[in-house]
Amino acid sequence: MRPKLLLVDDKDKFKGYASYSDCHAGEGKRHRAFVTLLFDSENRVFLQKRRHKLFDGLWDFTAISHPLRINGKTESYQEASDRALKKEMGINQVQVRKIGAFNYFARDGESCENEYCAVLIGNFNGQIKANSSEVYDNKQVAYGEFISDVKNNPTTYTPWAVKAIKIVKKNIKGV
């Protein structure tokens, strides 16, 4: 059985399950998603250039996905973040915390994102081994440089990265 996405309202209240294709076709169905941004001890962030059907080739946070319903079990944000970090960037379990969320709709051709997106952050001081089937490129940049680049070059980032950075800025001081 294929994993299902979690349908939610604009406050993240669970409403049911749907397939990936149903959630991303036409106007989509509002579903739960997340972005994870990892910081190292020198206040640098890990970014990826995504290789994906939707918003391909744009820069994004460290890991991005949806909590899934798999084999009768629903992932927590932590479990989903761990899965995505491992799959996309080769990073094993990193404790994350939710610092906020937002709702958004973004179209990419005939597909779309219609999501309640949680913003997760964590700390990591190891090496990444990006999965080339998931990620074109990756980099580690100073947090302040990242903030400036998103502001000056928003079209090189995913629509949700541009929105999520506003929540990160409210929660991360010292830039």
Q: Which are the catalytic amino acids?
A: 115
Provide the token pair at 51. Answer: 């290789």
Q: Do 115 and 135 touch, CB atoms closer than 8 A?
A: no
Q: Do 4 and 31 touch, CB atoms closer than 8 A?
A: no
**Cβ neighbours for 73, distance < 8 A, ≥ 6 positions apart:** none
Q: Do 2 and 19 touch, CB atoms closer than 8 A?
A: yes
**Cβ neighbours for 151, distance < 8 A, ≥ 6 positions apart:** none
